[in-house]
Structure 1
């Protein structure tokens, strides 16, 4: 029998507390992925100028999935998220990127709820039939109870419609890994429950959302929301990754080459060592040194943001200079 998750299920209201999130799915025309990523980064930069902006994430399609990209924007309050969604600036951006999409982008607005790290989520939007709302909620509780019997289940949240913004009912189910999430989504039990639930909703859509580097950015249980935005994660990982790869190439790499180890095997050994060094040695040290910049609660001022980014860039310069002199 699958292990039972010991996390409680949460029910989120639409009162605007606990932050606000919009999950946008966008099917990109084949061959336009690069253009889309540039457009999305421009959109991200504009969103950062709006009051209440907390972070954004972009998730490319997984292997074998449709060319559907998922963008997540997080704001402090629902009114601040609404201001961004309805702004003329964003409408102009959507018009500018329209040629990149196979169809109009779809979105789910989540008001309230808990922030979670180190989880893979399924964001499921339901078009609930009029007058069947109470029965839908009862059915969704059965879904939650069924999920508890599956390995890796971390909890679920039900988000009611937000008047004037979001008509659908949205459920977010969280699992610890993508494999565990897929086990539930593809299970025979879920298939049977879906057939039962079709009398309560006319249509539904599933989107998977997960974080790329979150396991390397944990600041303790006292800050459950303490995962920095992706651009900070990428900058910090590069700061630790570059010297790791250089040192390994100059030491272990040369030894393996001299011993006649074939290239693909030497590369695998180097990757194992670099990931291990990053996970258990360098990333904890770098996180501690840059905590003033990485932890959301401690990096709100513009001065703090600029100072942290400057420290990282100076670190890049110093490392390049050091390896330029020693490895050149």
Structure 2
């Protein structure tokens, strides 16, 4: 596990080895766009720095982290490489679309049953989180990705009409969820 950086700027952080047995230093670079990352990876400056450090480095690897939710947004391979993930704002909209009904259904069913059964609240929340993550990972996010592929999949024509239609459909789904759970709450109120 990586600890606190010994040196950092807005764009990079340097982490020392985490134990006496570990000799690996970790450097984290941040890029604003995938294009900026690719430009750096292919740059003469990077090649020069790697050449200068060969006598001091026994090995290295490069790992790219696309976004916070990239594991839920995989759309196959593009030219032998994993396709880009949708923009973060679309990913966040999709996660909310799947997460809100999941949490509401679990709250109205499993969490209520566990709480009524005397299970401590901290365990109820833990079980709820396990069920939410499992439901999202193996059922709802793949379903949402298929339904909204016209709007999410990178490389699909990005017309203003398609962008507006996707966003409007997501907002309509939010409204429907709020209506359904609003009525459910009203019907189940004591």
Structure 1 unaligned runs (5+)?
1-23, 27-69, 76-107, 115-124, 148-152, 154-172, 176-208
Aligned to 1:286: 144
User: Contact between 1:299 and 1:305, CA under 8 Å: does it hold in 2?
Assistant: no
Structure 1 residue 25: Cα displacement: 2.3
Q: How far apart, in 2, do the equivalents of 1:326 and 1:285 lie?
A: 24
Structure 1 residue 72: Cα displacement: 1.2
Q: How far apart, in 2, do the equivalents of 1:286 and 1:310 lie?
A: 15
Q: 1:312 to 1:174 in 2, by over 3 A?
A: same
Q: How far apart, in 2, do the equivalents of 1:267 and 1:237 lie?
A: 19
Aligned pair 1:111/2:39, yes or no? yes
One of 212, 221, 225 as aligned partner of 2:77: 221
Structure 2 unaligned runs (5+)?
1-8, 12-29
Which of structures 1 and 2 has the larger relative contact order (alpha carbons within 8 angstroms, sep 6+)? 1
One of 62, 81, 103 as aligned partner of 1:245: 103
For 1:154-207, what per-residue CA distance to the aligned partner results, in whole angstroms no more than 9, with x for missing partners? Answer: xxxxxxxxxxxxxxxxxxx217xxxxxxxxxxxxxxxxxxxxxxxxxxxxxxxx
Q: 1:319 to 1:227 in 2, by over 3 A?
A: same
User: Contact between 1:243 and 1:319, CA under 8 Å: does it hold in 2?
Assistant: yes
For 1:131-161, what per-residue CA distance to the aligned partner results, in whole angstroms no more than 9, with x for missing partners? Answer: xx4xx443455677623xxxxx5xxxxxxxx
Task: State how 1:71-220 maps to structure 2 within 5 Å.
Answer: 72-74=32-34, 110-111=38-39, 133=48, 136-140=49-53, 146-147=59-60, 153=61, 173-174=62-63, 211-220=67-76
Q: How far apart, in 2, do the equivalents of 1:143 and 1:237 lie?
A: 44
Structure 1 residue 302: Cα displacement: 1.2
SS of the residue 2:32 aligns to: strand
Q: How far apart, in 2, do the equivalents of 1:143 and 1:307 lie?
A: 54
SS of the residue 2:59 aligns to: helix
SS of the residue 1:300 aligns to: coil
Q: How does the TM-score come out when normalised to structure 1?
A: 0.43
Task: State how 1:268-307 maps to structure 2 within 5 Å.
Answer: 268-307=126-165
Structure 1 residue 252: Cα displacement: 0.1
For 1:65-119, what per-residue CA distance to the aligned partner results, in whole angstroms no more than 9, with x for missing partners? Answer: xxxxx561345xxxxxxxxxxxxxxxxxxxxxxxxxxxxxxxx7752759xxxxx
Q: 1:247 to 1:146 in 2, by over 3 A?
A: same
Q: How far apart, in 2, do the equivalents of 1:214 and 1:221 lie?
A: 14
Aligned to 2:114: 256
Q: How far apart, in 2, do the equivalents of 1:232 and 1:274 lie?
A: 20
Aligned to 2:180: 322
> What is the alpha-carbon root mean square deviation over aligned residues?
3.2
SS of the residue 1:316 aligns to: helix
Q: How far apart, in 1, do the equivalents of 2:56 and 2:142 lie?
A: 38
Going by fraction, where is helix more abundant, 1 or 2? 2
